[in-house]
Structure 1
Amino acid sequence: MDVVSDAIAAARVGRPDAHRVRVSGSWCSRLPAYDGMGFHVVLEGGCWLLPDGGGAPLTLATGDAVLLPRGAGHVLADAPADARTVARAAPFEHRLDAAGPSRAPFPLPEQDGPATELLCGKYRFDRRHAHPLLAELPQTVHLPRRAGHHPELRAAIDLLGRETGAALPGADVAVSGLLDLLLIYMVRAWTTDHTSGAGWPAALADPVVAEALRLLHASPEAAWTSTSLAARTGVSRATLTRRFTTLVGRAPMTYLTWWRMSRAATLLRDTAHPLKTVARQVGYGSPYALSHAFTRTFGTTPGRYRNGTNSRAVAPAP
């Protein structure tokens, strides 16, 4: 596994939800805040996204995608709107396609003016497992369509437009898989567009730090030390520690401990593996050793965590 895949897999739960809608004329719809990541893709026409809290409005054109990593509330409208119009915005649910994401858009009453067609949806996330890469994403990630820019994202958008536009055989499975790809491609696009300075995009662009992260994520159970990790990345221990700490914010072994705990929590949540198996998969020699480290990190035992008696337990970000 790589960092982006692990970051998404650790936190995302359930299947993504998406709907295709078509509107025309004058319209203004509100989407309340939710616990997850939201997204919109403009398949035809254009609109405005007006974030709650007075954020700068975004103009969305055909082919644009926008990701809302923290599920912030917002308004979609055909044009810039004043505060009074925004306050009267109709709930977006009124425009959802009741037939589901694998059918053509529900034919809403036509009005004068150009039509806009949107693919709108969200991914449910367990914030207890949020990787700092995802936490570093801004409130709104706007990915405008540009010729030749992020071709894999463009391809996913084009395929989603086709699969949600007609009742094709196997569309339900195809749409679910394409929505997973869409999330990966949107996060990847943001990381590749923001590699200057410090932070996770720069860490993933640095060949030494990226390789160290790949090794730690590929084999968290291995008996890593700063010396052995540095040897695998081809630099001295001092060089690795300096570059890793500058870009990631923690020393390599500190990050590894956090990732092992996050991985253990995911296994406890998503599998029925006995504690001995979980311990082995995340690099601890015994259930007791894992339990001690887990309790120190989460403030609760692995058993209570698995049983949901402390559902608010959160691992400190590395």
Structure 2
Amino acid sequence: MPSTLDFLSGTLTFTEPSGLDPVSGLIAAARTGRPAAGLFVRHAPWGRRYPVVPGAGFHVVVDGSCVLAAAHTDPIPLRTGDVLFLPRGADHDLADAADSPITETAHPGEPRIVTGPGDRCILLCGAYELDRGRTHPLLAGIPEFVHLPATPERHRALNATVELLLAEITERRPGADAAIPALLDTMLLHILRAWLAEQAAAGRPAGWAAAFADPVVSAALHAIHAAPARPWTVTALGACAGVSRATMARRFTATVGEPPLAYVARWRLLTAAGMLRESDATLTAVARAVGYTSEFAFAKAFKRAYGTAPGRYRRRGIDFAGQGPVG
């Protein structure tokens, strides 16, 4: 139910959403397990290797500076307040300077603080477990390394989330175990929003950045995510945005990279895979929730996309890397 809140001389209106918006939906569909984060302190000279991980990750330079080095990428200097996002967990090195040797490899249980004679660098590092078998095309289309330079006047929500996360990690007040995962999820959302905003500000949005910037395509995406079970047609999606069938088909395909109904099929199976992993709903209930009229039709489509039957997918709980929906 909509509700209003009088605030000073104005009125703020809040409307309950009918479903997950596309950015929220992709995170919910791809995420497995709990995100994690920690603070690491190094004194120059230092160099750390970060092997590839099955998910996404980020670094925030809380204090000091460092340099990113990775294959096929020019070195990226990172300064206080900078955020570095790795949507596919690519292997990379961080060091105090470009010529510093790599002397350690990131691993569970490593020391959080290493002293030394040189300048100090404090890093906030985080990781998200993502099911590579359910990779959303938005994450697949983001560059391997996303550098968001510190700009206090921009990305204020991201900066505020970093401050809250730092406070929870360092102070460990009651409720921190609940607050930290929630803030990490919020941070991932704000990182994606910041990247989309950077693409729009550059005046050359492409791919999914262009899709969100296009009101016609954005309206269709929101409609699909809000009601995946609806028997969508291109005409119906066009009606949601107030355009013709031909216009919807052309603009959606040009920005998203696949026709509207191909994306509908992809999103239905991504949603179904999440339900199989995270709920006890019957196969019939899952099939109906994502728009299939029978369990048989759903099982056939799921196996074609994921390479295994939905019941077996659920029982084994396997991350079918590289076997997400095709389209």
What TM-score do the two structures reach when normalised by structure 2?
A: 0.87
1:229 partnered with 2:237: yes
Return the offset for 1:197. 4.5
Percent identical across equivalent pairs? 45
Cα pair distance change 1:29/1:107, threshold 3 Å: closer
The two structures, once aligned, show a CA RMSD in angstroms of 1.9
Checking the alignment, whether the CA contact within 8 Å between 2:132 and 2:319 is kept in structure 1 is no
Aligned residue identity for 1:72: A
Pairing 1:90-239 to 2, within 5 Å after superposition: 90-93=104-107, 96=110, 106-109=112-115, 111-195=116-200, 196-239=204-247
**Could you tell me which residue of structure 2 aligns to residue 101 of structure 1?**
none
1:62 partnered with 2:80: yes
**Superimposed CA distance per residue, residues 27-68 of structure 1 (whole angstroms, 9 cap, x where no aligned partner):** 1111111111121111111111112x2521111111111011
Q: Give the whole-Å Cα distance in 2 for the aligned partners of 1:175 and 1:292.
A: 40
Task: Tell me the matched-pair count.
Answer: 304
Return the offset for 1:308. 2.5
Q: Give the whole-Å Cα distance in 1 for the aligned partners of 2:127 and 2:236.
A: 41
Q: SS where residue 188 of structure 1 aligns?
A: helix
Return the offset for 1:70. 1.4
Q: Give the whole-Å Cα distance in 2 for the aligned partners of 1:311 and 1:142.
A: 28
Higher alpha-carbon deviation: 22-31 or 239-248: 22-31
Q: Give the whole-Å Cα distance in 1 for the aligned partners of 2:172 and 2:119.
A: 25
**Superimposed CA distance per residue, residues 128-182 of structure 1 (whole angstroms, 9 cap, x where no aligned partner):** 0000000011110111111211111111111122222223222222222111111
Cα pair distance change 1:94/1:293, threshold 3 Å: closer
Checking the alignment, whether the CA contact within 8 Å between 1:63 and 1:157 is kept in structure 2 is no
Return the offset for 1:96. 4.3
Which of 291, 305, 308 pairs up with 1:300? 308
Q: SS where residue 76 of structure 1 aligns?
A: strand
Q: Give the whole-Å Cα distance in 1 for the aligned partners of 2:305 and 2:267.
A: 11
1:29 partnered with 2:48: yes
Checking the alignment, whether the CA contact within 8 Å between 1:21 and 1:95 is kept in structure 2 is no
Q: SS where residue 235 of structure 1 aligns?
A: coil
Q: Give the whole-Å Cα distance in 1 for the aligned partners of 2:314 and 2:113.
A: 45
Return the offset for 1:287. 1.0
Which of 18, 28, 53 pairs up with 2:37? 18
Higher alpha-carbon deviation: 250-259 or 295-304: 295-304
Return the offset for 1:227. 1.4
Q: Give the whole-Å Cα distance in 1 for the aligned partners of 2:159 and 2:288.
A: 41
Gaps of 5+ in 2: 1-19
Q: Give the whole-Å Cα distance in 1 for the aligned partners of 2:211 and 2:108.
A: 43
Gaps of 5+ in 1: 98-105
Cα pair distance change 1:270/1:147, threshold 3 Å: same
**Superimposed CA distance per residue, residues 256-293 of structure 1 (whole angstroms, 9 cap, x where no aligned partner):** 01111221122112211111100110011121221222
